Structure formats: structure tokens, C-alpha cells
Chains A and B, each alone.
Chain A
Amino acid sequence: NAGVTQTPKFQVLKTGQSMTLQCAQDMNHEYMSWYRQDPGMGLRLIHYSVGAGITDQGEVPNGYNVSRSTTEDFPLRLLSAAPSQTSVYFCASGGINRDSVFFGEGSRLTVL
């Protein structure tokens, strides 16, 4: 039972580089979302999706792009990384029941 799988777990980038954080879930959940966790800030919502082909912005969307071409996958793209994007990123997926939201193990990104 994989649940929510995030890759990579660790990544170091230079300023200006691009990369994609992958997120996949095998629970047939409609809702998927990306959060970032920073010291003293808790988890903040970046983007979310309520189904394939539908995405929307969260609290801190600037500098990030997302797409949802399939129910299973919800990649997060950084087009031009900045040091302010150094953070731990969590992907989450959930069904209709708001108790049934599951988080991945996180991806630690460092931008130099």
C-alpha cells in the first residue's frame, strides 16, 4: 500500500534552475494539494486540485506551477528556483471525507 509517494526526498538546486517535484497517489482520490513547511510558519498551501484537469491557487502560489493530467499524479514545478523556495514540501491527497487526507513523507529542497 503505497499511499502518497513523493520524489525526490532531497534536492539541492542553484538559483535559477528548474525542477519538478513528483507526487503520485494510488487511492483514487480526487483532491490533491501541495504544502510547504517553513520554520515558524506551519504548513502553507501552495496549489490544489479537485480533480483531473482542475487546479487552483492556495495561499503561496507564486513561483510554482502545477498540472493535473491524471487522477494519480500532481507534479509541482519550480520554473526558476529562488533561495526563498528552500523548504520542505508535502503533497497530500484526500477523498470526499475530510478526515481521509493523507500526506507524503516530504521533499526537502535547498536552493543555493
Chain B
Amino acid sequence: DQQVKQNSPSLSVQEGRISILNCDYTNSMFDYFLWYKKYPAEGPTFLISISSIKDKNEDGRFTVFLNKSAKHLSLHIVPSQPGDSAVYFCAASEVVGNQFYFGTGTSLTVIP
């Protein structure tokens, strides 16, 4: 059973607007959450993370929000740029070890 879920397979946004990508999880043992970005024919690359002791982490145009009670996190990209067009994976990690459980990905298209 999928422990990390991304229910939107795709998202299209106009350049300059906000992109919001969502992720839900079921395992209460997850204590660290990450977003990865993936271009075609490349491996995923780390984007931003958040620990379960926080509810927000910001890095430039990227902000991740964590709602532990709802077991939900989201990635906000403001402003969106065409170079942000990629597949975004949400991942979660348990307390021990850094093996990750990934969501199915959301393909973001930023329209110029």
C-alpha cells in the first residue's frame, strides 16, 4: 500500500503565478520529508526538506508546509518559472536511516 501519495499527476501554471504541489502520507513514523525534482533522463535531485518538528521551511522561491495532524505537506513555488517544469516527487523517511518512501510524482508545467 502506498505510504506516500501525490494525488495530482499533473499541474499547469502560468509563469509568475504560484505552483502548489500536494502530498499526503499515512505512516506516523515518518519524521523527515523531502521534495525532489526530476527532469527526463536524469536522476532526482534534492530540492527542499522539512523535519517533523517544524511546520514550514523556506528556501528562496520554494516553501514546504507540513501539517502533521492531517499528515499532509505541500510545496509552494513562487513565482513559478518555465525552468521549474519537471516532475516533483514527495518523499518521506522514518526516524532511523535514510531510505525514502516516494510518492508517485506530479508533473509541473509552467507556461511562459
A residues lining the B interface (CB < 8 Å): 4, 31, 33, 35, 40-45, 48, 50, 58-59, 90, 92, 94, 98-106
The proximity string for B residues 86-105 relative to A, scoring 1 for CB distances below 8 Å and 0 otherwise, is 00010101000111111111
Chain A residues contacting B79 (CB-CB under 8 Å) are none
CB–CB B41/A58 < 8 A: no
Give the contacting residue for B101; candidates A31, A59, A99, A106; CB below 8 A.
A59
CB–CB B43/A48 < 8 A: no
Chain B residues contacting A31 (CB-CB under 8 Å) are 97-99
Chain A residues contacting B45 (CB-CB under 8 Å) are 103
Q: How far is A90 from B44 in the complex, measured between Cα atoms in Å?
A: 9
CB–CB A103/B32 < 8 A: no
CB–CB A99/B49 < 8 A: yes
Chain B residues contacting A59 (CB-CB under 8 Å) are 101
Give the contacting residue for B99; candidates A45, A105, A106; CB below 8 A.
A45
Chain B residues contacting A4 (CB-CB under 8 Å) are 43
CB–CB A98/B34 < 8 A: yes
Q: How far is A42 from B2 in the complex, measured between Cα atoms in Å?
A: 10
The residue in B6, B43, B105 that gathers the most chain A C-beta atoms within 10 A of its C-beta is B43
Give the contacting residue for B34; candidates A40, A41, A50, A99; CB below 8 A.
A99
Shortest CB distance B92–A (Å) = 10
Chain B residues contacting A40 (CB-CB under 8 Å) are 9, 104
CB–CB A98/B102 < 8 A: no
CB–CB B49/A42 < 8 A: no
The residue in B32, B42, B98 that gathers the most chain A C-beta atoms within 10 A of its C-beta is B98
29 A–B contacts from the bound complex (CB under 8 Å): A4-B43, A31-B97, A35-B102, A41-B104, A42-B2, A42-B4, A42-B6, A42-B102, A42-B104, A42-B105, A43-B44, A43-B89, A43-B91, A43-B100, A43-B102, A45-B100, A48-B97, A50-B97, A90-B44, A98-B32, A99-B34, A99-B46, A99-B49, A101-B98, A103-B36, A105-B41, A105-B42, A105-B43, A106-B41
